[in-house]
Amino acid sequence: MSSKVDFFEDQPQEHSLIKSNIVVDYFCAWATIITKNRRKRPRLEQRVCYADLYSGPGYFKDGTESTPLRIVREVIGNPKFLEIVECVFNDGDEEMAARLRVALEALPGVERLRFRPFVTSEEIRAGVPERVQARLSVPCMAFVDPFGYVGLSADMLVGIVKNWGCDCIFFFNYNRINSAVSNANVEDHMQQLFGEVEVAALRTRMRKMSPREREAEVLRTLKASLQARIHKTLYVETFCFRDVEAERTKHYIVGLTTNFNASTVMKDIMGRYSSSHDQGVASFVHKPKDEQMTLPNCQPRPLDELAEQLPRIFAGRRMRFEDLLQEHSVGTRYERKHYPKVLCKLEAEGHVLLLGLKPRGAFGPDTEIIFRGAPP
């Protein structure tokens, strides 16, 4: 079995670069929004945090920079980030942490940062190390990318996102976790992720399931485990990496936030890196060398399916556009941009009435939709 050291000694694979792109793109979007909000709230401490709990050395053997160096470069290059963002890095391997410190100090412009990058080396067992946790009392975006699943716990993930302005993206090694659920030797790790009772029930349900059903059930149980630990709505966005040769899922990138608007940003970014789109709807799957597939005529296309769903689900209701998005788009492949075209088509067909459109037919948060028909 390869080690984390071996991973960084290799050249970066395509899926590693896409994973890093998603994290960096979301960090930039998150930091832009958070810095604007912090300026509107002067009584709050003028510091926000990016935390990477499994950072690695910052680069691959061929010199390609990995996520830590890319993030700090983004902070250095943005005047609005320079004065407010602190980057916190941890790696359980002291050699990795030492190499990262050297690489960070060598970055041009690092001396201009108000908060110099903080690097520590603590082993993560079931929670955020104390030296890192002490710096996470402010709005924070965390990246949790373990080599496997050791140290990954539902309590830790929810603890990261429970406060205002705090979001998390984590690596979910489905291929290993799928096998580990039935392995008594790693029972403790699975209980930390799913819960003691839940993992036993999951194991029983999975015995009679197909591979596709098992995957869906593992994800459903993960989401339920996370939601059960927080007293507010938790939005979970997933992006799948497939192994084309083995025709199976390798792993997921999972985004967590308690803010609906933040979840739409996550979904938009993940959608950009999908290998395929149908009617502009992303697959949220990456397959190396994936080709656009021509779907059989008998299979509903996503926007056609959306046009069928909305009048049926919301028959007889009057609702704001934003409320429709929150009620329907969560947990689907649909993004905000897909709804206006479908709703306008439905209005032309007499299924809905649209009120309060902006100039040129644009939808705003307070645009109202009246669905005809009787409630189901």
pLDDT tier at 243, thresholds 50, 70, 90: confident
Q: Per residue in 349-367, pLDDT tens? A: 999 999 999 988 899 988 9
The answer to the question of residue 376 being in a domain is no
**pLDDT confidence bin for 40, thresholds 50/70/90:** low
Helix 94-105 and helix 67-77, axial crossing angle in degrees, nearest 10:
30
Give CA angle at 355 (352, 360), nearest 5°.
105
User: What confidence score (pLDDT) does residue 129 get?
Assistant: 86
Same domain for 314 and 282: no
Q: Is the pTM of this model over 0.85?
A: yes
Indicate if 13 and 74 belong to the same structural domain: yes
Question: Where among 239, 254, 286 does a domain terminate?
Answer: 286
The answer to whether 22 touches 273, Cβ cutoff 8 Å, is: yes
How does pLDDT run across 97-110, given as a tens digit for each residue?
A: 999 999 999 999 99
Count of residues in the chain? 376
Q: Does the pLDDT at position 28 exceed 70?
A: yes
Query: Which amino acid makes up residue 205?
Result: R
Task: Tell me: pLDDT of 12 over 60.
Answer: yes
Torsion of Cα atoms, 94 then 96 then 99 then 103, to 10°: -130
> Contact at 8 Å (CB) between 237 and 270?
yes
Last residue of some domain: 286, 321, 350? 286
In a domain, 292, yes or no: no
Q: What angle do CA 90, 91, 96 make, to 5 degrees?
A: 125
Please tell me whether residues 281 and 312 are part of one structural domain: no
User: Does one domain contain both 94 and 134?
Assistant: yes
Please report, for residues 48, 112, 141, the alpha-carbon distance to residue 81 in angstroms, rounded to integers and kept in the order given. 9, 11, 14
- The answer to which of 86-95, 130-139, 294-303, 328-337 has the lowest mean pLDDT is 294-303
Please tell me whether residues 147 and 116 are part of one structural domain.
yes
Parallel/antiparallel/unpaired status of strands 118-120 and 140-144: unpaired
More confident residue, 184 or 43: 184
Domain boundary among 224, 251, 286: 286
CA separation for the pair 342, 304 (Å, rounded): 8
Average pLDDT estimate for 2-15: 61
Percent of all residues in the chain with a pLDDT value above 70, rounded to a whole number: 92
The reply to whether 233 and 145 lie within a common domain is yes
- Compute the radius of gyration of the chain from its Cα atoms: 22
- Per-residue pLDDT band at 295 (split at 50, 70, 90): very low
Which residue range is the domain that position 72 belongs to? 4-286
Helical spans, DSSP H, in 84-168: 94-105, 130-133, 154-161
Which CATH number goes with the domain that contains 336? 1.10.10
Q: Residue 172: inside a domain, yes or no?
A: yes
CA torsion 173-174-176-180 (nearest 10°) is 120
User: Which residues sit opposite 255 in a β-bridge?
Assistant: 169, 237
The per-residue pLDDT for range 107-164, each reduced to its tens digit, is 999 999 999 999 999 998 878 988 899 888 899 999 999 988 988 999 999 999 999 9
User: Do 323 and 185 belong to one domain?
Assistant: no
> Which helix (H) or strand (E) segment is 180 a member of?
helix 174-180
Question: Is 125 a domain residue?
Answer: yes
Domain contains 293: no
Residue 4 has pLDDT above 70, yes or no: no
pLDDT of 2 over the 70 cut: no
Flag whether pLDDT at 84 surpasses 90: yes
Whether pLDDT at 14 is above 50:
yes
Domain membership of residue 351 (yes or no) is yes
Residue 308 is assigned to a structural domain of this protein = yes
Q: Which of 233, 241, 236, 211 is nearest to 221 (CA)?
A: 236
pLDDT at 36: 83
In this prediction, residue 353 carries a pLDDT of 97
Q: What is the mean pLDDT of the chain?
A: 91
Are 269 and 306 in a shared domain? no
State pLDDT tens for residues 245-280.
Answer: 767 899 999 999 999 999 999 999 999 999 999 999
The verdict on residue 137 lying in a domain is yes
- The total of structural domains in the chain comes to 2
